[in-house]
Structure 1
Amino acid sequence: MYLVEGDVDSHNNAQTAKTALVRLGAQDGFTVLRTTGTNTTIATYKSMTRTVERLYSDAVGPTSSDLACPTLGDLDLSISEERSLSVREVFNVQLQHIPGIGKQVAGALVRKFPTPMSLWNGVMRDAEGEEGGAGGPDVKSAAEKLKFIPLGEGLNYRTIGETKATKIMNFLFNVPQAL
C-alpha cells in the first residue's frame, strides 16, 4: 500500500508521478491512498489503526512452542532477504518507469547492458568525443548504438528503435540533445 500526500499535479514531474501511481495500482496491484495534506494523512492513519485493532483484537498467537510468533526483527530480516533485488533487476524496473518504455524494451536493454554503468561504458563513453552539446556526449550517436538491439528472439528482428533509444539516453543521463 502506498499513501501519497499532497497534490500530484503540482509536482515538477506531474505526468511521471501520475503514471507511476496508475502503474502501482493497475499493473503492480498496490493500493494507492491519496490525501490532501498532513491532517488528512493523520486521520487516515488513525482510521487504519482502528480498523486493524478491531479486526485483530481477538486474535491469539500460536499456543505450541514449535509455532512461536516471530519477532519484528525476524520479520524484517525475512522480508529483506526475500525482496533483495540485483542491480540488473533494479535497472530493469527503472527503465520501465521511463514513459513509453515497457518490459520488452527494458528487458532487451538489460540483456545487453545489465547496469547503468555498463550502458554508459558501452555507449556514452564512445560518444563523448562526438558532436555533443557543450562538449558532452552526443545522444544521437549514443542512441545509434542502442537502436538496433533486438527485442528478443523470434520477433522478426524487431529492435528498440531510434525514438526509444534516444528517450532512454536522455532520461537516464540527462544529456542535452544535439540540435
Structure 2
Amino acid sequence: MDYQDNLKIVEKLLSKGEILCQLAEETVELAEAITGYKHCQDGRHLEYSLANAFMGKPAEWKGVLEEAADVSLVIIVTLDMLYDENDRKIHKNIMDTMEVVVKALHDNEKIKAMQKLSHDIAMAALKLRRAMGTENPTPVTEEDAKKKLLCHLSVIKVLFEEKFTDGEKADMKRIRDNKAERWSKRLRGEANA
C-alpha cells in the first residue's frame, strides 16, 4: 500500500473528533521536543550524537524533526477531513502572506514561534472539537474555531518550510510516510504496527 492509500484508510477510519485529538497530542509532543532542544541550546545539557555532532546539531534536534514530521502528517489528514476547497484557498493565501514574515525571523525566533504555535494548535484543535458538539459545549462557533485552527496550521506549515533544510524535509517525508503506514495498520487492527 502506498502513502496515499494509507492516508485514505486513516481518513476513513478516524472521526473528526479523533483527528483533532491526535493533532493536539502531536503538537504538544512537538512543543516538548522543542523544549528539550532549547535546553540543549541554552547549555543546560549537551548530548550530541556522533552523526549530529558532525552537522553541529544536538541529538535533540532529531526529536524535533520526528515530531514535526508527525505533526505534518496529522495536518494533512486534518485539512483533508475538515476543510473544503474554499478553505484550502484561504489556507494557501495565509501561507503566502506569512512566508514574508517568517523569512524575516532569525532561526531562534522560528523555533520559538514553532513551539508557541504548537501549543496554540493543540488548544485550537480541542476548542474546535468542543464546538463540533460535545458534552462540554463552548460559546465559540464551529466556523470560528475552524478558522482559527486553519490560520495556525497555515503558519506552522510555513515555519516548517522555512526552518528545515531540504535534507531535513526529506527525512521528515520518510518519517511521515512510515508513520502513515503504521497508523493505517493499527487502525485496520494489524498486529505489530
- TM-score (norm. length: structure 2): 0.27
Larger strand percent: 1
Greater RCO (CA < 8 Å, at least 6 residues apart) = 2
Please state which structure has a larger fraction of its residues in helix: 2
Structure possessing the higher radius of gyration over alpha carbons: 1
Structure 1 length normalisation: TM-score?
A: 0.28
